[in-house]
Amino acid sequence: MTKKEIVKRISERSGLTQLKTKEIVQWTFDAIIETLITEKRIELRNFGVFEVKRREARKARNPRTSAEVLVGPKNVVTFQPGKEMEEQVRQMPLVPVRPKKSRPKPPMASVSPSDSPPSANIDGPYFAAGQVETAPVSAPAASGNSNPNGAGGDHVAPETGKKRRVKKEMAT
């Protein structure tokens, strides 16, 4: 549910315009934020408690380089639901399990620039977000392209032996 949907629902129940209701809802959110900044805690009976807590400095690891990194201390907002909310949520039907986001596996072997054709845009055996390997237009048979119109196809990566989808560059 979004703030807009909350505004619409409250507007329908209260008889106020959506514009006035939106203003009131925003004032409520602003008051919660201001109270957290000044008081560090706000308790809303039958709803829950928001509280600002300090997360201490810690050591972390950069997943790309495996280098150890120091993460400084910071403030975080915590929420502890109230008894009434907790009870209502406990009594509702179980929600479906959300699938975990799959993480790309780290490269097994790195490819040096001399190993890949100049038109290839790859970083190891896996693509970075938004990158597509481009095969030379003059070599459709070498790319394993099964599409006769030359629009792209599968390519077996020599460094891993796995198939990858290839998008060809358009000849100008």
Per-residue confidence band for 27, with pLDDT thresholds at 50, 70 and 90? very high
Final residue of a structural domain among 91, 117, 147? 91
| pLDDT given at position 11 | 97
Overall pTM > 0.75: no
Give yes or no for a contact between 150 and 142, defined as CB atoms under 8 angstroms apart: no
pLDDT in tens, 1-21: 999 999 999 999 999 999 999
pLDDT in tens, 145-170: 444 444 455 555 565 666 555 555 44
CA distances from 60 to 66, 105, 131 (A): 9, 19, 28
Q: How far is Cα 96 from Cα 100, in angstroms, rounded to an integer?
A: 12
Q: Are residues 19 and 87 in the same domain?
A: yes
Q: How far is Cα 23 from Cα 90, in angstroms, rounded to an integer?
A: 32
pLDDT in tens, 28-72: 999 999 999 999 999 999 899 999 999 999 999 999 999 999 999
- Provide the domain count of the chain: 2
* DSSP structure class, residue 56: P
Final residue of a structural domain among 62, 91, 120? 91
| Domain of residue 66, CATH code | 4.10.520.10
Name the residue range of residue 120's domain. Answer: 104-172
Residue 82 burial (CB < 10 Å; 0-12/13-18/19+)? middle
